[in-house]
Chains A and B, each alone.
Chain A
Amino acid sequence: MDSKEKNIDKIHKKELGFDLPEDYFLKSKNQILSKVSTNKETKIIALLKHKMVWFAAAGIALIFAIAVYKQQAIPSIKNMPVLVLDTLNTDKNLNMANYSFFEEDVLIASLFVSDNNVEIFVSNAFIEDVVTDEYLDEFIVEELMNEDLF
């Protein structure tokens, strides 16, 4: 300790009455060094935390993508796999005579739908059927009118 350092302690104690705990500067030095090394470790943790945020964000995006995909993947008769549609069309043609293919279509197609989605699938199929019926009715009326006209 040089004379200037001794003097700085002395002047503050003598003129301003400030005192210190014993060995304060030694203890304080160790505390500061320990905080500095903790700070270095914290930086590493912070970096990991930063990475974890990205992982979490990626995870959320993935869950969202799956949810959207699943929603789109709930099949309607229109977007059934080609093989299924072929089977349905064949059946449809065979049953054209008695016009009762709708119920059977739904039953067959529903075999390819998971239990959780059956209800949504049936409801979609019902709506499609109503729309088709409506379209057929209009078509028949137009045909009859054309026949009357000509």
Chain B
Amino acid sequence: MKNESEFIGKLLSANQRDEAFKKLLDLYQKRLYWHIRKIVITHENADDVLQNTFLRVYKSLPNFQQKSTLSTWMFRIAYNESLRFLEQNKNKYYDSVEEVQQKYLNNLVSDSYFEGDEVQLKLHRVLAQLPEKERQIFQMKYYDDLKFREIAEITEIAEGTIKTLYYKSVGFIEKQMLDAELLVKN
């Protein structure tokens, strides 16, 4: 973002904060929604988490130390809020956050805001086979268009490890898609 420090200054200033926050919503609402949606799967879940994310962003703005870019900081909040949501929904029936995600994926067909066909369902199944961290890294890079350095900051994993895990997951997905005839080998 051009003039990010000026914009951050407005967000931190008491009398310009509300106006700047509206602008912040316009800039990041969609990107954060889609980032969250891929983790919590359903629209209802994503809507809840998106609202919590922006509330937390608003509350935490006075503590924003500008050690990372505003974008990375917000993605990190969104990512943590999504994981917190899954953790809260784990309850007594599931042992792990992955199982909760699997439950949402299994119910995807009956979700009123899922319009995918068999091909898209197969892609979801392939992605679900990836270990949790690898899936999130792949999605952040491929769908959210984040840089490796940004993903490293968001997930608190070393950048080198992020790159390794990303290329490993790309290889896995390609193989699975070829096997499922979702891709044709050139």
Q: How far is the CA of A25 from the CA of B18 in the complex (A)?
A: 18
A148 at the interface (CB under 8 A from B): no
B181 at the interface (CB under 8 A from A): no
For B115, the closest partner residue in chain A by CB is: A19
Q: Is the CB of B116 within 8 A of A31?
A: no
Q: Is the CB of B25 within 8 A of A33?
A: yes
Q: Which of A8, A15, A29 contacts B31 (CB 8 A)?
A: A8
B117 at the interface (CB under 8 A from A): yes
Q: Is the CB of B34 within 8 A of A32?
A: no
Interface size class of B (residues with CB under 8 A): 20 to 34
Q: Interface 1/0s, chain B 21-49, versus A by CB < 8 A?
A: 11001100111011001100001000100
Q: How far is the CA of A28 from the CA of B25 in the complex (A)?
A: 10
| Secondary structure of the A contact surface, majority rule | helix
Looking at A11, A13, A16, which has the most chain B CB atoms within 10 Å of its CB? A16
Contacts of A15 in B (CB 8 A): 120, 123, 143
A51 at the interface (CB under 8 A from B): no
A20 at the interface (CB under 8 A from B): yes
Q: Is the CB of B113 within 8 A of A20?
A: yes
Instruction: List the count of A-B residue pairs having beta carbons below 8 Å apart.
Output: 82
Q: Interface 1/0s, chain A 24-64, versus B by CB < 8 A?
A: 11001101110110010000000000000000000000000
For A29, the closest partner residue in chain B by CB is: B25
- Which residues 63-83 of A sit at the B interface, judged by CB distance below 8 A? none
A119 at the interface (CB under 8 A from B): no
Q: How far is the CA of A6 from the CA of B12 in the complex (A)?
A: 30
Q: Which of A13, A21, A35 contacts B51 (CB 8 A)?
A: A35
Q: Is the CB of A28 within 8 A of B47?
A: yes
For A26, the closest partner residue in chain B by CB is: B29
Q: Is the CB of A18 within 8 A of B113?
A: yes
Q: Is the CB of B51 within 8 A of A17?
A: no
A137 at the interface (CB under 8 A from B): no
A5 at the interface (CB under 8 A from B): yes
Q: How far is the CA of A11 from the CA of B116 in the complex (A)?
A: 12
Q: Is the CB of B25 within 8 A of A32?
A: yes
Q: Is the CB of B120 within 8 A of A16?
A: yes
28 A-B residue contacts at CB 8 Å? A5-B31, A8-B143, A8-B145, A9-B34, A11-B143, A12-B143, A15-B143, A16-B38, A16-B123, A16-B124, A17-B108, A17-B114, A17-B116, A18-B34, A18-B113, A18-B116, A19-B114, A20-B43, A21-B43, A28-B29, A28-B33, A28-B50, A29-B29, A32-B25, A32-B51, A35-B51, A36-B18, A39-B58
Residues of A within 8 A of B (CB): 4-5, 8-9, 11-13, 15-21, 24-25, 28-29, 31-33, 35-36, 39
Residues of B within 8 A of A (CB): 18, 21-22, 25-26, 29-31, 33-34, 37-38, 43, 47, 50-51, 54-55, 58-59, 108, 113-117, 120-121, 123-124, 143, 145
